[in-house]
Amino acid sequence: MSRGKRRGAAVWFALSLAWTALIWVHSMVPGPASTSESSFVVQLLAPLFGMAGVCDRTVMTLLVRKCAHFSEYALLGFLTHGLRSSLPRESLLPFGLSVVWAMLAPCLDETIQLFVPGRAGLVTDVLIDLGGVLVGTLSCHALLRRGRLKSI
């Protein structure tokens, strides 16, 4: 692998690792503080929810929380696929590692939350997270394939 490709793989790896760490650190935020964050976002988005006919604050909060799960893992899927695509194609190891990383991260995320006061680890959140990983992975793949995103 050329020096430039190694550097590109290192950048994708660093971004993937940093994003995973950020997700897990955020999972350690106690329940009341997490609820405060969600309430703040709901407050900001309330006019948009109203235009969409969603007026119940509980529903708004649920949507905000689940969309946050989906989007943070979509970005992780994007980054881990970028990492995989920057490594040599002949090796199955990079593919396996990126898949395991992207699938294990949500499971560990929800496990962390089991030990945080006021938080809960939910299987439904793992499924939402995995859906995000899939969309992020497919998005990165499509952009790379069309040449709209070059390996770093």
pLDDT in tens, 13-53: 999 999 999 999 999 999 999 999 999 999 999 999 999 99
Asked if residue 152 belongs to a domain, the reply is no
**Hunting for tokens 């609820």 — which residue is that?**
35
In a domain, 86, yes or no: yes
Does 93 have pLDDT greater than 70?
no
Q: Which long-range contacts (CB under 8 A, 24 or more apart) does 80-84 make?
A: 80/16, 80/133, 80/137, 81/136, 81/137, 81/140, 81/141, 82/12, 82/15, 82/16, 82/140, 82/144, 82/149, 82/151, 82/152, 83/9, 83/12, 83/13, 83/16
In a domain, 130, yes or no: yes
pLDDT score for 64: 97
**Across 63-85, average pLDDT:** 95
User: For residue 38, what are the contacts with CB-CB under 8 A and spacing of at least 6?
Assistant: 61, 64, 65, 68
* 23 domain-assigned: yes
pLDDT tier at 56, thresholds 50, 70, 90: very high
pLDDT of 37 reads 95
Q: Quick check: is 107 in a domain?
A: yes
pLDDT tens for each residue of 98-125: 778 888 999 999 999 999 999 999 999 9
Q: Note whether residue 109 is domain-resident.
A: yes
Domain total of the chain: 1
pLDDT at 151: 58
Q: Determine the Cα–Cα distance for residues 122 and 110; give it in Å rounded to an integer.
A: 6
Predicted TM-score (pTM) of the model is 0.89
The whole-angstrom separation of Cα 80 and Cα 15 is: 9
Measure the N-to-C terminal CA separation of the chain; round to a whole number of Å.
14
Domain around 30: 3-146
Position 142 scores a pLDDT of: 93
Which residues, at least 6 apart from 41, have a Cβ–Cβ distance to it below 8 Å?
A: 64, 68
- The answer to whether residue 151 is domain-embedded is no
